[in-house]
């Protein structure tokens, strides 16, 4: 829901014979806009995002189990922060990189600040868990029974469970010269055990490690015959603690403490040196589990000598150690949300709208010949997107289907439709981005499945991730070929379409279809870049197109014409774009930015950014739409895009930005965007010092949640 996703930057080299000016702002007199204090660090901004997510766990207006879900999301977000961002900073520090980020701090300086803020955030996580969430859950008869509270019946049942379900799959490893410290899987549950005595061979190393197999559930539900309530649970770690002596017969267990190691999870494949990217990635995936350690989580009651032993074993420093008062992986608590049947403790269900013209059985091709269709997920159903591919797969007049897949899920109805189309003899071409972080394995499986049925599968451009979201259907109509297109701001993933907000445009516009066809030719063939009619595209025209429009707004403001910029994106960290926004603000342009996560722009700086407001919306759904609005002297331009305003999106990815030209649809996007600009319950306002303050209704002002307003307006909820 409120997850994070990022990708390792590739080499800055461009395919084809195209020159992109490396610095479009060079030559401009902007020395005052290059001061490091005008920019906020990316990683520090991510910690602030996690604080906003964590704040949902104490919001009494949020149902209790959803508050617990936010706690779990914060935990997984922090995992990714360490696996990717902090791991990258540590690599830079080892390599002696002098400047790590836009704020010009060194990697060491940034790591020190991150350690301080992450420790404070983790401490707050466990305080909220122990002091607020667990007591509130217990009041609802959802209990996590501690070992000291087990009844005789519960103890007997759990001992039987241990002996018959756990003991056969556990392999404790005593540490001695013949048994060195085992390889520890990334983010796995482990225990460090202190022992006294000698074993059958006379060994007395005094220490052992127990690794909990990942296949075992981390939460065990107690059955009614133990006298337990309907929702009484015991942590797997508690069971292993309780019966650890069974693992070391004849020896005394002095102490046993859980720990967890987070590792660098980046994959490195030198794309210039491999002949088959998919095979190279398949070979690299296992190494992700054993990358360099970047964080150690350990129980807060673990003796200092054992903690120091673990720290040295994983070559970490005290700043990398997080001592926690509770389970070392809070994300495992998410399992109970599905196990507990208490609807009033969860967000109420809703039914996404299916536009009347797209009702079941309607021909999408007939509809799109008459008008464009705009879908705003999750408020609008994702079914029309699936139907688009399904109808194309079985339509005898459809000759070809082309599609990009970045994240799609293992069991995808869209992939099923592509398979059916290929089996039916249609030309199916799919550009699969194998390097979509943490989805590499699933994408490889999809690629193999499509290749088996004869689809053409390519992996995009070396050095450039294909992040564009495009589907193109070529259909023969009255002796001519006609293009039907879907363009989106999010992934072709039916499950996340229920959790993420995204726009999707379906159109039969010939100019847009021609543009999409040209982009597919870039991705699958060779040649120079063709000029596009309507779309802007990274890495070729999007950056320059944005700069041109921001500067136009500045000129309009200086000339006294209407000038305004409204942008809704996930991240804003590209320095030259930020400088252009600063300059537009100086010219008097009103700038409203809705940035979910990372934001390096510092608003409210006198003489620089007084006219800029930055807000972040954190609510039930993950805000994922990318919308760009330019006033254009009273003739507004509105674009939706797959791209955030980051270097990687603008220069190292294939992205699409498409205009909303239909007046009715453009008015709808502007109207819906206005909800986000006036949200006063789930909005957080960025302050000049980098902190975020939650918006609250002013005196006499009605509370407004953008997401709730859209649910009511579109879904009737």
> DSSP 3-state assignment of 258?
strand
Distance of CA 260 to the CA centre of its chain: 22
Name 638's bridge partners. 629
Catalytic residue selected from 257, 467, 493, 624: 467
The two tokens of residue 302 are: 């673990």
C-alpha distances in angstroms, 175 versus 181, 195, 208, 249, 561?
A: 6, 11, 5, 16, 75
d(CA 571, CA 644): 6
Q: Which residue has the tokens 């088996």?
A: 452
- Closest listed residue to residue 473, CA positions, set 525, 380, 397, 419: 397
d(CA 223, CA 680): 45
C-alpha distances in angstroms, 197 versus 253, 256, 509?
A: 9, 15, 79
d(CA 493, CA 491): 5
- Closest listed residue to residue 395, CA positions, set 470, 475, 468: 475
d(CA 656, CA 471): 12
Active-site residue 467, yes or no? yes
Contacts of residue 93, Cβ cutoff 8 Å, sequence gap at least 6: 106, 107, 108, 111
- Closest listed residue to residue 353, CA positions, set 383, 324, 313, 328: 383
Q: Which residue has the tokens 């972080």?
A: 437
How many CB atoms sit inside 10 A of residue 358's CB? Answer: 22
d(CA 236, CA 243): 11
d(CA 268, CA 108): 23
- Closest listed residue to residue 394, CA positions, set 370, 434, 352, 423: 423
Q: Which residues are catalytic?
A: 467
């Amino acid at each position: 829901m409120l997850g994070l996703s990022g990708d390792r930057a590739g080499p800055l080299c461009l395919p084809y014979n195209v020159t992109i000016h490396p610095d479009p702002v060079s030559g401009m007199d902007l020395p005052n806009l290059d001061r490091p204090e005008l920019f906020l660090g990316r990683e520090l901004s991510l910690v602030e995002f996690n604080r906003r997510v964590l704040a949902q766990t104490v919001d009494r207006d949020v149902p209790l189990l959803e508050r617990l879900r936010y706690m779990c999301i914060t935990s997984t977000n922090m995992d990714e922060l360490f696996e990717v961002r902090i791991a990258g900073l540590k690599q830079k520090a080892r390599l002696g990189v002098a400047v790590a980020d836009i704020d010009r701090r060194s990697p060491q300086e940034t790591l020190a600040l991150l350690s301080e803020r992450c420790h404070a955030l983790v401490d707050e996580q466990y305080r909220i868990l122990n002091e607020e969430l667990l007591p509130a859950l217990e009041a609802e008869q959802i209990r996590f029974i501690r070992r000291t509270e087990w009844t005789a019946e519960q103890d007997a049942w759990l001992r039987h469970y241990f002996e018959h379900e756990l003991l056969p799959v556990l392999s404790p490893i005593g540490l001695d010269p013949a048994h060195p410290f085992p390889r520890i899987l990334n983010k796995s549950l482990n225990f460090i055990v202190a022992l006294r005595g000698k074993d059958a061979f006379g060994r007395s190393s005094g220490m052992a490690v127990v690794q909990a197999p990942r296949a075992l559930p981390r939460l065990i539900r107690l059955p009614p015959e133990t006298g337990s309530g309907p929702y009484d649970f015991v942590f797997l770690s508690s069971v292993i603690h309780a019966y650890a002596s069974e693992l070391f017969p004849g020896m005394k267990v002095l102490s046993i403490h859980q720990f967890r190691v987070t590792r660098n999870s980046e994959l490195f494949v030198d794309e210039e040196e491999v002949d088959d990217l998919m095979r190279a990635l398949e070979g690299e995936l296992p190494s992700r589990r054993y990358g360099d350690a970047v964080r150690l989580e350990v129980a807060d009651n673990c003796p200092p000598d054992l903690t120091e032993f673990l720290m040295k074993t994983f070559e970490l420093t005290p700043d990398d150690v997080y001592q926690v008062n509770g389970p070392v992986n809070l994300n495992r608590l998410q399992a109970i949300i599905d196990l507990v049947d208490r609807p009033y403790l969860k967000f109420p269900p809703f039914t996404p709208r299916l536009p009347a013209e797209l009702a079941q059985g309607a021909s999408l091709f007939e509809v799109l010949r008459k008008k464009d269709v705009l879908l705003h997920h999750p408020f609008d159903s994702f079914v029309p997107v699936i139907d688009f591919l399904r109808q194309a797969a079985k339509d005898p007049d459809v000759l070809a289907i082309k599609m990009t897949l970045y994240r799609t899920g293992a069991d995808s109805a869209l992939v099923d439709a592509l398979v059916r189309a290929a089996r039916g003899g249609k030309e199916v071409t799919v550009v699969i981005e194998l390097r979509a972080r943490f989805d590499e394995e699933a994408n490889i499986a999809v690629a193999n499945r499509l290749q088996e049925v004869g689809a053409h599968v390519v992996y995009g451009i070396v050095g450039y991730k294909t992040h564009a979201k495009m589907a193109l259907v070529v259909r023969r109509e009255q002796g001519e070929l006609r293009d039907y297109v879907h363009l989106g701001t999010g992934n072709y993933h039916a499950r996340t379409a229920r959790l993420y907000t995204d726009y999707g445009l379906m159109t039969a516009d010939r100019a847009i279809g021609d543009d999409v066809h040209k982009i597919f030719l870039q991705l699958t063939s060779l040649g120079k870049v063709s000029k596009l009619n309507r779309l802007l595209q990274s890495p070729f025209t999007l950056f320059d197109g944005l700069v041109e429009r921001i500067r136009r707004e500045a000129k309009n403001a200086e000339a006294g014409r209407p000038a305004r910029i409204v942008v809704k994106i996930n991240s804003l960290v590209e320095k030259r774009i930020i400088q252009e926004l600063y300059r537009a603000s100086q010219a008097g342009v009103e700038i409203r930015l809705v940035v979910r996560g990372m934001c390096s722009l510092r608003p409210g700086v006198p003489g620089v950014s007084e006219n800029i407001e930055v807000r972040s919306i954190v609510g039930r759904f993950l805000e994922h739409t990318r919308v760009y609005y330019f006033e254009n002297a009273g003739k507004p331009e509105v674009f939706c895009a797959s791209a955030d305003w980051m270097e990687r999106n603008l220069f190292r990815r294939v992205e699409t930005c498409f205009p909303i030209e239909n007046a009715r649809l453009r008015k709808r996007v502007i109207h819906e965007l206005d909800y986000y600009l006036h949200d006063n319950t789930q909005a957080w306002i960025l302050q000049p010092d980098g902190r975020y303050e939650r918006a609250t209704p002013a005196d006499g002002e009605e509370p407004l949640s953008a997401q709730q307003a859209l649910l009511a307006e579109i879904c009737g909820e």
